[in-house]
């Protein structure tokens, strides 16, 4: 094999290697993206499953720390929500949760008749 033939083969192999590297990098990027998408999907599925599990077992008499922590978080969110409504000058509509201004007779969001939530 002449020097020029060897040089020509070397260049061809280098070009092929670079092409393979580029294709491999593209595969890696695509696989990483697909993995992220699936991981996001899995997180949403776990969330949905967790809500179902919580709803099915929240009233069970069991000593589950996660159920207790979830119930505590829900109650705290409700407290914060009520405090926010109060600071905005009203209370949450018992039907839809929208802000009902103090003294209102109806919820402006859903039309629910408001009789007793402002009676102290």
Residues that bind Zn ion (CB under 5 A): 93, 95-96, 98, 107, 109-110, 112
Nearer to Zn ion, 14 or 108 (CB): 108
Q: How far apart are CA 110 and CA 85, in angstroms?
A: 17
Task: Please state the closest distance from residue 117 (CB atom) to Zn ion, in A.
Answer: 11
- Is the Cβ–Cβ distance between 68 and 60 less than 8 Å? no
What are the angstrom distances between the C-alpha of 76 and each of 48, 50, 53, 72, 103?
21, 19, 20, 6, 26
Nearer to Zn ion, 85 or 107 (CB): 107
End-to-end CA separation in angstroms for the chain: 101
Nearer to Zn ion, 49 or 109 (CB): 109
Task: Please state the closest distance from residue 107 (CB atom) to Zn ion, in A.
Answer: 3
> Which among 18, 73, 19 is positioned nearest to 51, based on CA atoms?
73
Task: Please state the closest distance from residue 120 (CB atom) to Zn ion, in A.
Answer: 20
Task: Please state the closest distance from residue 113 (CB atom) to Zn ion, in A.
Answer: 10
Nearer to Zn ion, 5 or 103 (CB): 103
Q: What is the dihedral of CA 61, 64, 67, 68, to 10 degrees?
A: 90
């Amino acid at each position: 094999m002449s020097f020029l033939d060897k040089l020509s083969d070397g260049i061809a192999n280098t070009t092929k290697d670079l092409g393979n590297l580029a294709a491999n990098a593209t595969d890696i990027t695509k696989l990483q993206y697909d993995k992220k998408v699936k991981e996001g999907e899995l997180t949403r599925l776990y969330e949905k499953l967790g809500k179902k599990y919580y709803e099915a077992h929240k009233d069970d008499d069991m000593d589950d720390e996660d159920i207790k922590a979830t119930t505590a978080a829900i109650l705290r969110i409700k407290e914060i929500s009520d405090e926010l409504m109060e600071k905005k000058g009203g209370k949450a509509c018992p039907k839809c949760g929208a802000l009902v201004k103090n003294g209102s007779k109806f919820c402006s969001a859903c039309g629910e008749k408001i009789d007793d939530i402002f009676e102290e």
